[in-house]
Amino acid sequence: MMDSEYLIVRRRSSKMTLTEYLNQKEPQRMPNVLVELSELTIGTTLRSVNNAQTRTQVFFKTNNPLLQGAEYCLVNNGRTLMTTDSDGNPKRYSCFRLKEDLCVSK
């Protein structure tokens, strides 16, 4: 493996905070961004009877226009935020991960 290839692999697996992510000079594709619970607004938790799945709405507390108002969700109290479609259904995994567990009552 060449040095440049090693750097690319290393960057992708590197962890960064939300502030570091938003202040990137050379944005990375799908970095591992650790998010504090204090940086989020937790919305409604929905429970599906058919597939026994819980989905919790999550919004970022930021003035950044790219994240402001964007809805994400947590599925089954996981730590990885998922993007949502226009109906609020989980769509794809994002680069954002909770630094600690979210406690949602069952």
Where do the structural domains in the chain lie, given as residue ranges?
Answer: 3-98
pTM of the model: 0.78
pLDDT of residue 20: 92
For residues 35 and 81, the answer to whether their CB atoms sit within 8 Å is: yes
Reported as a single tens digit per residue, the pLDDT across 71-101 is: 999 998 889 999 999 888 899 999 999 998 8
Give yes or no for residue 106 having a pLDDT over 70. Answer: no
Bridge partner residues of 46 (DSSP): 55
Reported as a single tens digit per residue, the pLDDT across 6-15 is: 444 444 457 8
Among 97, 93, 100, residue whose Cα is nearest residue 34: 97
For residues 35 and 61, the answer to whether their CB atoms sit within 8 Å is: no
Reported as a single tens digit per residue, the pLDDT across 25-51 is: 988 888 999 999 999 999 998 888 777
